[in-house]
Structure 1
């Protein structure tokens, strides 16, 4: 389905078999809503599952001007408004986790629970150049030039060897991402910083990290859990895409976490 969100044609999918409470999944940089296919299939019997392509990704239009993570949070608000969603459980991974944190600060009353995966609350000062380099390379050579190194960061070698079909799909989505959409998002993530505000979040929160995540070290996600009152932290035997690499374990964790709050 396509809908206009803040002037941008936006793709979304709603999976609703049981008519349960809303559960919204937000994907990573260089991904799209398909990363959540398996989880959506599992949860759709008990929840109304919403997935969407973040601006500049998948089949959502590229912004004509630079944007911030706060703008991406406003995109989520506009999408929920358009669909008549009063409140939702939110699961965000990597970039999606940053959008989820921002949304928790902007619109806490609309969140039932918050699940943050493989994410951080700010880019360290020394990491700003990395985002700028990725943005520049995407614009000059295309996102595909970053694909192989990204797969190696996102998934452990054991998983890549055991599940080449999964890696191929993730690689294909990444390589086909709009170069300008990816570059704009890199700059937005470079400037993201909500560390000083996390303590005001008072929502049931599950924070999940991958033990082997070199790009976003587990300590970064753990710091978020420490800053949010009564947040639960879980470490999985995975790299950056922990909910995908350890899908059964993550599904069990999320299901248990949600059931306590439904």
Structure 2
């Protein structure tokens, strides 16, 4: 699929299917291939547009200036290039943050939004997990160890009932020719660490659905607020 030349990067993207345009924004450590399992279920209903975010996949150079806001601007430039005046958006994890920032850039153009496993926060524990994974990756034999350490954070308990699932996932990840490097991973982590949201869910004025796992380890749901009790005097 083609690349879009922007001022400082060449943005790679994939296009599949037919129907209304659906922009699919990948999350941390991921690129357009992360939608591989979902895309066949949607391609009969939507034209799927899947960019490789900065520092991932076939977008180059990997070390171009990167921020969540900049990646949202890249996505909007891509939709401009493809001639889509209005479109749907789905974002996973960091892609959900990008989707909300994209709304602030062009609210009138987004017809509907889906935010998956995402929240407009930078939870200290989540960043600590990513930092630890990067440290493991840079250690001797870390190329496999960091993936094994990642899987319990992203797969459900049922995944581990069959040991071959881990080996299958590991083999596929190691064979992927466009995998993000350790340096590019660190570069993207700094982009997330510096994220400051300009849009909150309450600001979204387009039809929006938010899907969040009840037991999401990386981005847990906030604890319920304890109602304030008024003391009697």
TM-score norm. by structure 2 comes to: 0.80
Residues 101 and 199, structure 2, Cα contact 8 Å, conserved in 1:
no
As a proportion of its length, which structure holds more helix? 1
Matched, 1:41 2:40: yes
Q: Which deviations, in whole Å up to 9, do the C-alpha atoms of 1:2-61 show, x marking residues without a partner? A: 3223432222111134xx210111112122212212322122222111112111112222
Q: 1:191 aligns with which of 190, 194, 207?
A: 194
CA distance in 2, matches of 1:87, 1:140: 46
Mapping for residues 1-262 of structure 1, pairs under 5 Å: 1-3=1-3, 4-17=5-18, 20-125=19-124, 128-134=127-133, 144-161=144-161, 164=165, 167-168=169-170, 171-172=173-174, 173=176, 176-194=179-197, 197-219=200-222
Q: Give the deviation of 1:192 after TM superposition.
A: 1.8
Report the aligned-residue RMSD.
3.1
Q: Deviations over 1:83-114 (max 9, x none)?
A: 11212111111111111111122221221111
Comparing 187-196 with 201-210, greater Cα deviation is found at 187-196
Tell me how far apart the structure 2 counterparts of residues 90 and 169 of structure 1 sit (CA, whole Å): 31
- What does the per-residue CA deviation read over 1:203-251, in whole Å, with 9 as the maximum and x for residues that have no partner? 111101122211111339x99xxxxxxxxxxxxxxxxxxxxxxxxxxxx
Instruction: Indicate the structure (1 or 2) with the bigger Cα radius of gyration.
Output: 2
Matched length: 220
- Structure 1: tracts of 5 or more residues without a match: 224-262
Instruction: Specify whether residues 175 and 199 from structure 1 end up closer, same or farther in structure 2 by C-alpha distance, changes over 3 A only.
Output: same
